[in-house]
Amino acid sequence: MHPTTIKTYAERAKLHPNPTARRLLEIMERKKSNLAVSVDVTTVKEVLDIVRSVGTKVCCVKTHCDIIQDFTLDFAKELVRLSQQMDFIIFEDRKFADIGNTVTLQYSAGLHRISSWADLTNAHPLPGPGIISGLSSVGQPLGRGLLLLAEMSSKDNLATGQYTTEAVQMARQAGRGFVVGFIAMNRVDIPSPVSKIQKVNGMVNGHGHGNASVNGNGNGYGGDKEMEDYLILTPGVQLSKGGDTLGQQYRTPHQVIFDSGCDVIIVGRGIYAVKGKEAEVAEEYRKAAWEAYERRLRC
Ligand code: 5FU
């Protein structure tokens, strides 16, 4: 059992150093929802209609702002207003993937000014740690959070094995202030053997050699207060297993939350494509994912 999966979301919220992660965990507990809706539609009206109908069921609304043809900052303002009224966080699934200087500009400027309205965003670790430094220079002073893409849900993707391991290492080296978790299909943040040994020997917080998780960033398993806590948000979820014609692969809420120990399911077409019944279906996903979480806690 992973150390994080035996704690409640409320317990984790109390200890988390990042304001966005803390707020997300508090909302999850308050609303009994570990469901994020992915609103992949192309007009402001459609996005807002879906958010208004499912906003009370979810802990997080995920956007792709570059597919919204009539995007404006007024729309973003309205989304922020709804996020406060309906109690969810906003996650812009931007998947930054460039050098630090460029992502700094992509995050803060342009038409979308993502950092001004999105609580959470994400990045590929592919370019190296400069991508985190660039994004954190903008986002951390605002209390935002970042997820690294450690794994993907699509068939035959390349984010596996050593790449995934190094994504987790990169997060640990960045410290706890800004990188709050991963897009992943599994609990990728398993404690490394070295940090376990060091915990047994009482060697934590800067006394280790060559292990990024105990490098003095407060990321080692050196007691409850210091324990690292990454959020795992997982796309590729529908009520039954399957896929689409373009390589997407679906697992069920139970598989993702109970079997794999992830924290939040991300559901797009499973909710917004069921026209007129979005709220009803969102409630089914919320219940399924929450029951899987409660069962996991009882194990
Ligand atoms: F990083 C990822 C990933 O590995 N798989 C994904 O599906 C992100 N996604 C996003 O989740 C994708 O861009 C969609 O916005 C959403 C899944 O939508 P679906 O309609 O539930 O398949």
User: Between these two residues, 176 and 290, which has the higher pLDDT value?
Assistant: 290
Q: How many domains does the chain have?
A: 1
CB within 8 Å of 202: residues ≥ 6 apart:
none
Q: Is residue 4 part of a domain?
A: no
Looking at the CA of residue 270, tell me the nearest atom of ligand 1: 21
Q: Is residue 96 part of a domain?
A: yes
Q: Is residue 215 part of a domain?
A: no
Q: Find out whether the beta carbon of 149 lies less than 6 Å from any atom of ligand 1.
A: yes
What pLDDT, on a 0 to 100 scale, did the predictor assign at position 197?
Answer: 40
Checking if the pLDDT of 85 tops 80, the result is yes
Checking if the pLDDT of 235 tops 80, the result is yes
Q: Find out whether the beta carbon of 236 lies less than 6 Å from any atom of ligand 1.
A: yes
**Matching residue, tokens 């709050």:** 180
User: How would residue 18 be classed by pLDDT, with cut points 50, 70 and 90?
Assistant: very high
What pLDDT, on a 0 to 100 scale, did the predictor assign at position 192?
Answer: 61
Look up the CATH number of the domain holding residue 159: 3.20.20.70
| 275 is known to lie in a ligand binding site | no
Rounded CA separation 264/25 (Å) = 10
Q: Which among 60, 93, 156 is the best mutation to test ligand 1's pocket, defined by most ligand atoms within 8 Å of the CB?
A: 93
Ligand 1 centroid from CA 192, angstroms: 29
Kindly report, residue by residue over 179-220, the tens digit of the pLDDT.
Answer: 999 999 999 998 765 544 444 444 333 333 333 333 334 333
Which tokens is 244 given? 């689409």
Percent of the chain predicted with pLDDT > 70: 88
Which of the residue ranges 142-146, 176-180, 217-221 would you say has the lowest mean pLDDT? 217-221
Active site includes 95?
yes
Give burial (CB, 10 Å; 0-12/13-18/19+) of 87: middle
User: Between these two residues, 208 and 269, which has the higher pLDDT value?
Assistant: 269
Q: Is residue 218 part of a domain?
A: no
User: How would residue 6 be classed by pLDDT, with cut points 50, 70 and 90?
Assistant: confident
Which residue lies with its CA nearest to atom 6 of ligand 1?
Answer: 235
Rounded CA separation 276/280 (Å) = 9
What pLDDT, on a 0 to 100 scale, did the predictor assign at position 194?
Answer: 54
Helix (H) or strand (E) holding 63: strand 60-63
Kindly report, residue by residue over 106-132, the tens digit of the pLDDT.
Answer: 999 999 999 999 999 999 999 999 999
Q: Is residue 54 part of a domain?
A: yes
Which tokens is 129 given? 């740690």
Checking if the pLDDT of 234 tops 70, the result is yes
Q: What angle do CA 182, 5, 12 make, to 5 degrees?
A: 80
Q: Find out whether the beta carbon of 171 lies less than 6 Å from any atom of ligand 1.
A: no
Domain assignment of residue 69, given as a range: 9-191+225-297
Q: Is residue 18 part of a domain?
A: yes
Rounded CA separation 156/97 (Å) = 19
Q: In the chain, what are the helix, strand and coil shares in percent, each to the nearest 5?
A: 45, 15, 40
Instruction: Tell me what the mean pLDDT of segment 10-36 comes to.
Output: 97
Q: Is residue 245 part of a domain?
A: yes
Q: Is residue 111 part of a domain?
A: yes
What pLDDT, on a 0 to 100 scale, did the predictor assign at position 10?
Answer: 97
H helix runs in the chain, sequence order: 9-15, 19-31, 44-54, 73-86, 100-108, 130-139, 161-174, 193-201, 253-254, 269-272, 278-298
Active site includes 32?
no
